Structure formats: C-alpha cells, structure tokens
Structure 1
C-alpha cells in the first residue's frame, strides 16, 4: 500500500513537468514536422507539396549564408569565451581578495535577459551617439566615429557581446572542476620539481578533461542556437552579415520589417523545413564533437 502511495505521489509530482513538456515541446515539434510537407503561409488553405520545401532549402542561398555566419559566430565565441573562462577560474581559485564578489560580478551577465543585454550594448556601440565612440573620440583614440554595427565590424561586435554574456557561466563550471582537484596532486608534482606552468600543463588541464568536454559541448550548442542578442543588435544585418540560422528560422515564422528576404512573408511550411534542416546541422555537429572527444580520450 505504501509503495502504491509513493508511486502515486511520484507520478503526481512529475505530471506538471510532463504535461508542460508535451504541450510546449513534443506537440509543437510534431506540428512543425507535419507542415514540413505543406505549402502553408499561416493563413488560408494548406497544400501538400511533398519534399518541395526541402528542395527549396537546398537552393536557398540566404539560408546557407546564415549557416556560414553561424559557424563564424560560434567559432569566434568559443575561441574567446572558453580560454577566458578558464583564465578567470584559475585566477579566482587562488584565494584572491574579494574573489566571492568577483565571482558574482562575472556571473551576473548570465542571468540577464539577452534582449535587455543587447539593448544596453546597442547604446554602447551605436555609431552616432554611442558611449564607446564618444569615449574614443574624447581621448582622440580614433579619428572619426566607427560603425561598430556596420558591415566591417558587426560580426566581431555580436561575438564580443555574446562572450560577455557567456563567460561567467563557463567560469563557474571550470571553477567547480578546479576545486575538485586534490591538493596532494599538486604537492606531489611540486616535489617532483614541476613549476607552476608545468603543473598547469600536466596536472590541471588533464584533470579538467571531463569538465572541459561538458563545457565545450554546452558552448557549441548555445553558440549554434543563439540569436536573441543578434536580433536586437543588428536584426541579421547589415546585408545579412550577422544573419544566423535560428534568426533566419524565426523570421520565417514571425516576419518583421527587418532585413533579408525571410523577414517579408510568413511561411510556416517552408520555415518548418528550414527548422528541421537546422536541427539536423546542430545535431550533426554535436555527434561529431562527441565522437571526436571519445577518440581523443581513447588515445590520451
């Protein structure tokens, strides 16, 4: 009787989460997968067209340019955020004065809404009255206003904003990994004559291996599917230079007056097909990373 009662309580506690998962996760995915094979604009009649939407994806130069932009964005974000997070974690693990306050300061951006964060950075990077240009002009560090959100600098700017928002989270994960390394390992290395740099290279990095794999995986997935701050800062512009995959999908489902052909007309059917292809790309990258990390562990 007690066992049945415990099971009833367990299922009762799980039911709200299960229902939310079904309503907000499984059902929308099934709904979108159905419309992948239809010509449907979100209004009027729906027309079955088979694989025509996927054939259109293959011919869609704007989508494939967004794929290239996504990998450029993700590569820049990973190249900056992971080493910086590790450096901050190592510094804060050394018993610095005020380290608890610094941890909170570095972690704070991760709990701020991406849209709100992007609005603040838009005020900073605005070419005409932005804080950054005013500061640089005041101290004569630049000869004229720089268009940080223009063609030449937009991708770098959105990458830097994304790094600011992500590095604190990865820093805490690295810090947790560092604090789980036994102190006697470093003592043994020191007795063997290893200096601080050698201890970091041959003790810290190998023992951070499992944590590092998890952090890189999270960073890859978050970078590939991130678009909120880009939508606020540049809306995929200028001329599609920062248009990433998930922003392209968003505009197909929710058209705006922004840049790019995808922002003009609502296309539920085609958007569903593009979303599916996008999910396959992200899934393929994740599988390749898992396979690569497994092979590296085998030969380590």
Structure 2
C-alpha cells in the first residue's frame, strides 16, 4: 500500500516563517525608498516650522542668539497691529483676483491647444514660456509695460479708463490688481499643462456620443469637460491658494509692498519684520500664515469635491 508524502511539523513552521518574512519585507521595503524624501522634508520643512513655532513663543534676540519665554505675547502684538490686518486683507484680495483667473483661463487655453490643428505645438510652447521666464526678467518687463509710457497705460487711456497716462504700480487703487496680473500671466502655462493632461485622459467616445445626440460644443464643454476635469480643478485651486498666500517675488521686484502698504501681503509683512530683526513677531506671523494656508486649502478641497460629486450625480 502506497503512502503519501510525509510532511514534517518543522517544515510547516519554516514555510510560515518564510511567508511572514516576505510580507514584512514587502511592507518595509517602500519605506527605504521614502527615506531620502522624508529626510529632505524633515530638514527643510518640519524642522523650520518647529523652530519658527519655538521662536514665536520667545522674545528672541537674533544677534545674541538667546530668547526669553513670553508665551502668546507675540501673537497678541500682531493681532493688534493695523499693518498686519492690512497685509491680511491684501492677501485675501489678491487671492480673490487670482483664484478664478488661474482656474478658468488655463482651462480655456488647454481646450484650445488640445485641438488637432497645424502649429498647435508652437502655441503650447508660447503659452508655457512665461513659466520658464525668470521672475526678475518678468518683473522688469511688466514694470516697463505698466509705466506711464508703456503699452498698457496707452491702451487704458484710449479706452477712456484714465484721462492721462498712469503707472498702475504707483497707484494705491490699482497696484495690487496690477501685481496679481503678473502672477496670473506667470502661471497660465503651468496650469494649462495640468488641464491638458486631464483633457487627454477623457475618452473621445464620450464626445462622439454627445455629438451624435445633438449636443453643441458649449454643451459638451459644460456637461462633459468641466465635470471630467474636476480633479484637475481641485489641484489647480489648491496650488493657486498656496501660491497666492505666499506670493512675494512679484511684489518685492515691482512695488516693494507700496504704495502706502497697498501691496503688502502677509509674506511681505513677515519679510519686513525679519529685516527689522523682529524674529519672534515674524515667526508668529508665519505660524498664522501656515494655519490660514492649510485651512484655506482644506476648505477649497471640500468645496470642490462636493461640487464634483454634484456634477457627477
């Protein structure tokens, strides 16, 4: 009578141990690839944030390298500073101007350059050129365009919006809007690429079916393109909010926060405090900016995701 293979108890234990070791290595191995990124993130983001939070609770003397614990006194000081509230207001006005333009204009450009026409790749390159243009060059160019003898001033006079040539960057009523246009122009090509990637992932059969059913181009854009681009809209919105909350270069290179604080945003306020060696006040304002940026981003993500669900429903 033949007997089946004999299985030793120790063999089962070894097989089980090998499976457990393989599973554990499968879970541990990805962390080894993440270590370089985590080190960079911790060194240049987490540690500076913790350091800033520490300084915000001290009366830190940067020259002496020492500080006395003062608790929340620095936060009380900035909340009673009129310049801080003006900077906060300017930051939100800047976001209100930039956010809708950075969300919708790149989407329209992406739809245009997604067409199969001759020379469309040239237009894609031209629209992307502002992204790779150094901010110093862009700021100097826009300062010339905004000058009294610039093209923009002449166009505004011809349209009857101004009686005489005016430099928009030196007028308190127009300076913030003028600077925001530089930000919009600089980011158009970058956000266009994000939308273009989203457009190219939409199946062509959907548009063909809608066209057969008699849907117009506008109806296809409203009922197909916009709902299918909802994830891209969320990404662009959050990126715009974060970039708008920490806008600095455009203002520093064009107006320096003037005239009369009309373009002083939160980051410019923090920069001026650091230049005056008010490190603790600057750190407290930086913590406030961080909380506002995270809160605004989370709120935008929630609003956009709920609208995305409504569109898909």
TM-score bracket, normalised by the shorter chain, equals 0.7 to 0.9
Could you tell me which residue of structure 1 aligns to residue 52 of structure 2?
32
Q: TM-score, normalised by structure 2?
A: 0.82
Q: 2: CA distance between counterparts of 1:137 and 1:170?
A: 28
Q: How does 1:57-206 map to 2 (within 5 A)?
A: 57-127=78-148, 130=150, 132-133=152-153, 144-150=164-170, 151-206=172-227
| 2:284 matches 1:226 | no
Partners of 1:140 and 1:202 lie apart in 2 by 36
| Structure 2 CA distance for aligned equivalents of residues 137 and 19 of structure 1 | 51
CA distance in 2, matches of 1:6, 1:290: 32
Q: RMSD between aligned alpha carbons?
A: 3.0
- 2:71 maps to which residue? 50
Q: Which runs of 4+ in 1 moved over 6 A?
A: 3-13, 137-142
- Whole-angstrom CA distance in 1 between matches of 2:116 and 2:307: 33
Greater mean deviation of Cα atoms: 26-35 or 164-173:
26-35
For 1:272, the equivalent position in structure 2 comes to 283
Structure having the higher Rg = 2
TM-score for both structures, normalised by structure 1: 0.85
Provide the C-alpha distance between the structure 2 equivalents of 1:137 and 1:294, rounded to a whole number of angstroms. Answer: 39
Superposition deviation, residue 276 in structure 1: 0.3
CA distance, structure 1, for counterparts of residue 117 and residue 240 of structure 2 = 27
Unaligned 5+ residue runs, structure 1?
Answer: 256-264
Shift of 1:9: 9.8
| 1:82–1:167 Cα contact (<8 Å) kept | no
Structure 1 contact 147–153 (Cα < 8 Å) conserved: no
TM-superposed CA distance for 1:152, in Å, is: 2.5
Q: Secondary structure at the match of 1:50?
A: coil
Deviation at 1:101, TM superposition (A): 1.2
Q: CA deviation at 1:11?
A: 7.3
Distance change >3 Å, CA 137–CA 77, structure 1 → 2: closer
2:305 alignment partner in structure 1: 294
Go from structure 1 to structure 2 and tell me whether the alpha carbon gap of 1:47 and 1:168 turns closer, same or farther (over 3 Å shift). Answer: same
Deviation per residue, 1:98-146 (Å, 9 max, x gap): 111111111121122323321222232233x54644x659989875321
- Give me the whole-angstrom Cα distance separating, in 1, the residues matched to 2:116 and 2:69: 64
Cα deviation 1:178-204 (Å, max 9, x = unaligned)? 111111111111121212111111111
Contact 2:95/2:244 (<8 A) preserved: yes
Q: Is the 8 A contact 2:157 2:165 kept in 1?
A: no
Aligned residue pair count: 288
Quick one: distance in 2 between partners of 1:140 and 1:251?
A: 38
- Contact map agreement 2:210 2:220 (CA 8 A) in 1: yes
